[in-house]
Structure 1
Amino acid sequence: MFRGVTQLSLDAKGRIAIPARYRNELASKCSGHLIVTADPSKCLLIYPQPVWEPIEQKLSELSGFNSRVRSMQRLLIGSACDVDMDGAGRILISQPLRRYAGLSKDVVLVGQGEKFELWDEQQWDLQIEEAVSFSEDDMPPELEGFSL
């Protein structure tokens, strides 16, 4: 399980260094082979390849006759890039994906269970502000009765 928030920097070539605490798990789980794709929230999703494959398969099997489904397939599958961690644990984020997510030099890698989200740091700060600003009246039904 990937969890936690890590502040990182994109280097001049568009690479980020995967935090050391995840490298061994990624090396054993997928030999460092990852999939980076766009998310509708304007962040990037980073999956170990074995986790991504069933998601891609399910998306591919959905009917293309629905324009909204087709749009989601275009975004998620069409934007997906295969990347490999190098010897220093870095991965290259392609220019089109960096542009899509509005990534600057300062980024945030957020563990989300079996995947990561990669956010521009300023956009991440806005997401956190939004997450803590809703009232009980705005509570999504899925969270009613949920307690920490």
Structure 2
Amino acid sequence: MFLGTHTPKLDEKGRIILPAKFREELSGGVVLARGQERCVYVFSRPTFQEKVEAITKAPLTSRAARDYVRMFLSGASDEVPDKQHRVTVPAALRDYAGLGRDLTVIGAGDRAEIWATEAWEAYYAEKEEAFSSTEEEVIPGLF
């Protein structure tokens, strides 16, 4: 499970050092994909395979499903961490998420997310008040 907030740097070759807490789960390889809200999703290979199996069960006749599958899978990249636990973030994904040197990597349960630090801080500032003031059940069974 991916938890916490980490602040690695992107090196000049477009590589990120995976947070130590995530390394064991990602040691067998990672899949990077376009995330919603202009971040990069980071999945373990088995979790990504589960996601692919789930989304490809959507009816082929559903335009929204076809669009989602195309956007999600066309930007996905299978990567293997090197001996220093670095993973290359492909240029297309760096551009998509506006990634520069300063990054914020957050744990999001079954995945990690890579954000441009400035974008994460803006997102966090915008969403924190709503999170703090939630009065009703947003996620069934959570509270």
TM (norm. structure 2) is 0.89
Query: Which one of the candidate residues 119, 127, 132 is aligned to 1:131?
Result: 127
1:39/1:139 Cα in 2 relative to 1: closer, same or farther (>3 Å)? Answer: farther
* One-letter amino acid matched to 2:93: L
The percentage of counterpart residues that share the same residue type is 26
Query: Which one of the candidate residues 70, 74, 85 is aligned to 1:74?
Result: 70
Structure 1: runs of 5+ lacking an equivalent: none
User: Any conservation in 2 of the 1:3–1:112 contact (CA below 8 Å)?
Assistant: yes
Number of paired residues?
A: 142
Q: CA deviation at 1:64?
A: 2.7
TM (norm. structure 1) is 0.86
Runs of 4+ in structure 1 deviating by more than 6 angstroms, as ranges, are: none
Structure 2: runs of 5+ lacking an equivalent: none
Instruction: Specify the alignment match of 1:20 in structure 2.
Output: 20
1:143/1:23 Cα in 2 relative to 1: closer, same or farther (>3 Å)? Answer: closer
1:140/1:52 Cα in 2 relative to 1: closer, same or farther (>3 Å)? Answer: farther
Instruction: Specify the alignment match of 1:86 in structure 2.
Output: 82
Instruction: Specify the alignment match of 2:36 in structure 1.
Output: 40
1:15/1:59 Cα in 2 relative to 1: closer, same or farther (>3 Å)? Answer: same
Instruction: Specify the alignment match of 1:111 in structure 2.
Output: 107
Could you tell me how far apart the structure 2 residues matched to 1:91 and 1:39 are?
A: 17
User: Any conservation in 2 of the 1:110–1:117 contact (CA below 8 Å)?
Assistant: yes
Could you tell me how far apart the structure 2 residues matched to 1:140 and 1:100 are?
A: 34
Q: Which structure: greater strand fraction?
A: 1
| RMSD over aligned Cα atoms | 2.1
Could you tell me how far apart the structure 2 residues matched to 1:25 and 1:144 are?
A: 28
Could you tell me how far apart the structure 2 residues matched to 1:5 and 1:119 are?
A: 11
* One-letter amino acid matched to 1:109: V
* One-letter amino acid matched to 1:113: G
1:40/1:22 Cα in 2 relative to 1: closer, same or farther (>3 Å)? Answer: closer
SS in 1 for 2:33: strand
User: Any conservation in 1 of the 2:25–2:44 contact (CA below 8 Å)?
Assistant: no
